Structure 1
Amino acid sequence: MKTVIKTEDNTTIVSLAGRLDSNSAPLFEDELQSFVVSPKGNLVFDFNDLEYISSAGLRIILNTAKAFKDGPYCFATCAMQDHVLEVFEISGFNTFITIHNSINNSLSAFKTKKD
């Protein structure tokens, strides 16, 4: 799996490409530590190029959502391919994880929430 991390409008955008599975999850979790332990802004995962997510990947999403739940910043996911969205729906994650259609929608929603 490949990740690209950039910042825009007080939001860290983490773009994932490939497979988020038991092989790649530990490395991805390590990359996220600084964002999850002490968030300094909003966080969005861009899943546009994510081909597959396993239960190990879902666990990371769950832990990230928990870290942002009661804080001043927002967490969301965006741009899911249909088969990845289906995993979120089957697992029930779509009921408590915010899912936007695009990065721009996420950034707009974060600005609206701040105002």
Structure 2
Amino acid sequence: MEAEQLLKKIEDSHYWDARVKRLSTNFFGDELVLVYEDDDREVVLKFSNCYQINYNHALNYDKEKPVRELNSNQLPYFLQNIELQDYISNGIKYFKCKIAMPPLDLEILSKELIVLKK
């Protein structure tokens, strides 16, 4: 049920086609932070206590130059879909999240998720 409430908060930002400005992992993959544009502010999705982070970048998408050389307006990642659900394994509750931002897809399994609007 908590996942439903967080997903509603994310959907209220009208994330569809929003440019992703930053994606990073910290602390040996224990934390993932995704930042995207929302009109005149940014929305931050902060996953922590992560157990799985899967990246799947389309092989048929040619990276003409390294992403680190691109400025934020050149980044090719735009949010298309976010799915979030409560997931229980061995009596422990997790968030299971799938994010489509072609040419990159993410799957994240974490215990905590914070949605911040800056």
Q: Could you say whether these structures have the same fold, taking a TM-score greater than 0.5 normalized by the shorter chain as the test?
A: no
Structure number with greater CO (CA < 8 Å, separation at least 6) is 2
TM-score by length of 2: 0.27
State the structure with more CA Rg: 2
Larger helix proportion of the pair: 1
Q: By percentage of residues, which structure has more strand? A: 2
